[in-house]
Chains A and B, each alone.
Chain A
Amino acid sequence: MTKSKRVLISLILRLLAFGATVAAVVVMVTSHDSAQVLNLTFTAKYSNEPAFKYFVIAEGIASAYSLIVLFTSSQNSLRRLLLILDLVIAMLLSSSISAAVAIAHVGKKGNNHAGWLPICGQVPKFCDHVSGALVAGFIAAILYLLIVLSSMHFILNPLFL
């Protein structure tokens, strides 16, 4: 594998990951819906729920990191540090998407044992928006996994110029 191919592959992966994290942040932040139930307005925003706030913060950190790394040149000394940072960001992304999916599942299906009713019947637009953001977050987590795997492969087969 030539050097230009390696640079191209890592650039494409990081660009896609940047796009996915930014999309997740934007779609989650713009999700809101309101419903009128018996003269009571019932507004649903992402900031009502700490898990979604954590999701937005984590994806924001990941997209800022992706942007910064896109603009650094890859030297051998930096590569191991980048690998470790990629690992930490992959961990952050996976925990945030998992937390958001857990809470969204309660919102969609409710929880009989705890007496929590599902809310997706009253605010369907909010639920669809949040599902879109979760899909983007899931893609971002998988892409970061691929980035870590490819970085490991590039460390194992260094090019001697």
Chain B
Amino acid sequence: MASGNVEKLELSFSAVPDKPKKDWVLMSLRVLAFLATASATLVMALNKQTKNFVVATIGTTPITVSITAKFHHTPAFIFFVIANGVASLHNLVMIGVDILGPRFDYKGLRFVLIAILDMMNLVLASAGDGAATFMSELGRNGNTHARWDKICDKFESYCNRGGAALIASFIAIILLLVTTVMSISKLKPKN
């Protein structure tokens, strides 16, 4: 009988719960999403092109006017930069929380907060994307019905860089969607 009790004690001491394994897939997805959103923000924020236009000719001297195209001339691009900036900040904070591990746990709300914040971020980033996409489409093709001329034939490198920022943002949205789905699937019901 005494040996049976010792065996039971040993079994209960060996059943110590392991530390939760780090999820490397989620972490690498977050790093990629952070890189994508940060590059989209930077490329759009530093997007600027100056060009000289000949407006009139007086005698033999042409009068040139230099016009600059910057991202903050359009509210849609301002929103794009802000949304992607907030998304990259969120990804950075989430990477930090993942690395520091479960020390930051407040009554078990950690996974719920991560899932909710991921979802909010996804919605914000996709909103920024939608606005910037259609604004640049308007700049590229113009709109004959509203008499709005296209500007991309005059400011080509501005448009191309804006397009590159948009592509980076699309990649970021796909990565954010996969990350959100993964963090939602980690929610386990309270028993």
Contact = CB atoms under 8 A, between A and B. Distances in A.
Contacts of B75: 102, 105
Interface string A94-119: 11111101110111000101111101
Contacts of A116: 146, 148-149
Given A90-B123, A158-B189, A95 B135 contact: no
**Chief secondary structure at chain A's binding surface:** helix
A76 to B, nearest CB: 10
B5 interface: no
Nearest to A83: B184
B122 A87 contact: yes
Interface stretch (A16-24, A49-57, A60-68, A128-136): A49-57
B151 interface: yes
Interface residues of A, number: 43
Given A95-B126, A113-B73, A148-B119, A87 B131 contact: no
A107 B177 contact: no
A54 B137 CA distance: 12
A38 interface: no
Interface range on chain B: under 10, 10 to 19, 20 to 34, or 35 or more?
A: 35 or more
Interface string B144-173: 011111010000000000000000000001
Contacts of B135: 102-103, 106
A155 interface: yes
Given A145-B123, A158-B189, A114 B139 contact: yes
B185 interface: yes
Contacts of A3: none
B187 to A, nearest CB: 6
Interface in B83-134: 112, 115-116, 119, 122-124, 126-134
Interface of B: 69, 73-76, 79, 112, 115-116, 119, 122-124, 126-135, 137-139, 143, 145-149, 151, 173, 177, 180-181, 184-185, 187, 189-190
Given A49-B145, A98-B126, 13 more contacts: A49-B146, A51-B134, A80-B185, A87-B180, A91-B126, A91-B173, A98-B127, A99-B130, A102-B130, A102-B132, A114-B151, A152-B112, A152-B184
25 contacts: A50-B134, A51-B134, A54-B134, A80-B185, A87-B119, A87-B122, A91-B177, A94-B124, A98-B79, A98-B126, A98-B127, A98-B131, A106-B148, A113-B69, A113-B73, A113-B74, A114-B148, A114-B151, A116-B146, A119-B146, A145-B119, A148-B119, A149-B116, A149-B119, A156-B112
